[in-house]
Homo-oligomer: A and B are copies of this chain.
Amino acid sequence: MKTKKLVFLMLWLALIFLTAPVGVSATEQHEVGHADPIAPVLYGLIVILLAAKLGGEVFERFKQPSVLGELIFGVLLGNLALANINFFDFLRTDDFIDIFARVGVIILLFEVGLESDLKEMKQVGIPSLLVAIAGVIAPLILGYMVSRWFLPAAGTNTHLFIGATLCATSVGITARVFKDLGKLGIPEARIVLGAAVIDDVLGLIILAIISGIINTGSIGLLSISWVTLKAILFLVLAIGIGTYSASTIGKYAAMMQVKGVKTIVALIFAFVLSYLADSVGLSTIVGAFAAGLILEEGHFENFRGDLEVRELIKPISYFLVPIFFVLIGIQVRLETFADVSVLGIAAGLTLAAIVGKQVCGLTVKKEYNRFLIGLAMIPRGEVGLIFASIGKVLGVLSEAVFSAIVIMVIVTTLVTPPVLKFSLKEK
């Protein structure tokens, strides 16, 4: 009985592999116009979603965050070519899969924004702000130094960008560990979570500044001030006009009778702000995050019986977000590690990431567990990876450095939960 089931599963898998469009990218097929252009895209989506869920499951079983599983299964998929398996090579360069991943990141940052709350951020107040600022500046400087040490030939832009990828703490992973241990209520947890959210905002501003510097080519005080001003102006304007418009739009939308209005209004809101962010020279994700911050459930209170926005967005997020993380993994080239110096960079960056966040603890009063705060700020996650992928597209991060950054994210994320658990139990 059991073997019969296995045979069926094998049959399915065999069918999928046999019919793979080997070596032909979706883009190429689309141009040749031979088969339905959707076929290779479907193939890519199937493989990526399978890898994401299997990888996520394996890591969940070992009490690790599922995003790590998506990343690592992506690395495996992307490097099967080293074992002469070439079915999945086209995923690395396929334009359509890439666009799905990009929409995925926008949805992800929109969700992060939805979960962050402007009012709550004001309440955690000064200690969170200090922890966040220290936790952004120290890794930025350390990362810059590590980059200069290992890559003396690279330009200032590269050093700055590498530093920036070390800035943002992953709220999700830290929150998860505190929650699993039932310690979400302790003051250290609240300070760290507040700081992690502020971190995201600071990180996005730093990304905007550095991207601006790279695009204009100059690094003068004037251009830095201009980009900073633009980023802050965009966030302020977007949140200002947005908050006002959101309640009006919500009121009108609630009067509409057509199905799916709530979902679509939320999506359009996220897309419009992402698009505007791009138009003023910022990253789309800055806009998506702002859209999430603005859209509070209150704006849709007149909707009858519909689910909350974050519930409605969830299936879309389940579909598109893992594509981004698996694709990041796929783009890691393990052969770059044949060069020992790349391993050195990875080690250096990981060290900078860990040490850099220990400064955080020093900014709070002695009555708090300073060591715990420093540890809790270690994990880098989504935002670091997003920065890395943007840096690769901008041309400031090489294949090797990109791979090293992904390794840094994986290690810092893997290390935090056990260390944090140990430290919490000690206390």
- Tell me, yes or no, whether A422 is within 8 Å of chain B by CB: no
A15→B276 contact, CB < 8 A? yes
Chain B residue contacts of A5, Cβ below 8 A: 248
A9 CA to B257 CA in the complex, in Å?
A: 20
A8→B245 contact, CB < 8 A? yes
B35→A264 contact, CB < 8 A? no
B263→A315 contact, CB < 8 A? yes
Q: Which stretch (A48-56, A110-118, A198-206, A365-373) binds chain B? A: A48-56
- Tell me, yes or no, whether A103 is within 8 Å of chain B by CB: yes
A15 CA to B50 CA in the complex, in Å?
A: 40
B37→A319 contact, CB < 8 A? no
A57→B258 contact, CB < 8 A? yes
- State the copy count for this chain: 2
Most buried by B among A103, A241, A317: A103
Partner of A319, one of B15, B39, B52, B316: B316
A257→B60 contact, CB < 8 A? yes
Chain B residue contacts of A61, Cβ below 8 A: 257
B259→A318 contact, CB < 8 A? yes
A319 CA to B107 CA in the complex, in Å?
A: 12
**Interface of chain A: mostly helix, strand, loop or mixed:** helix
Chain A interface residue number, banded: 35 or more
B19→A263 contact, CB < 8 A? no
Considering only residues 39-65 of chain A, those with a C-beta below 8 Å from chain B are 39, 41-43, 45-46, 49-50, 52-53, 56-57, 60-61
- Tell me, yes or no, whether A123 is within 8 Å of chain B by CB: no
- Tell me, yes or no, whether A174 is within 8 Å of chain B by CB: no
A317 CA to B52 CA in the complex, in Å?
A: 22
Taking CB as reference atom, which chain B residue is nearest A98?
Answer: B37
Shortest A284–chain B CB gap in Å is 6
| Chain A 227-265 per-residue mask, 1 if CB under 8 angstroms from chain B, else 0 | 000000000000001001100100000001111110111
B268→A46 contact, CB < 8 A? yes
Taking CB as reference atom, which chain B residue is nearest A33?
Answer: B393
Partner of A19, one of B16, B98, B257, B276: B276
Considering only residues 247-291 of chain A, those with a C-beta below 8 Å from chain B are 248, 256-261, 263-265, 267-268, 271-272, 274-276, 278-279, 283-284
Residues of A in contact with B (beta carbons under 8 Å apart): 5, 8-9, 11-12, 15-16, 19, 30, 35-39, 41-43, 45-46, 49-50, 52-53, 56-57, 60-61, 66, 69, 95-96, 98-99, 102-103, 106, 241, 244-245, 248, 256-261, 263-265, 267-268, 271-272, 274-276, 278-279, 283-284, 312-319, 322, 393
Ordered by A's residue number, 16 sampled pairs between the chains whose C-beta atoms are within 8 Å are: A12-B241, A16-B275, A19-B279, A36-B283, A37-B95, A39-B278, A49-B268, A49-B271, A53-B261, A53-B264, A61-B257, A259-B318, A260-B315, A263-B315, A263-B318, A314-B315
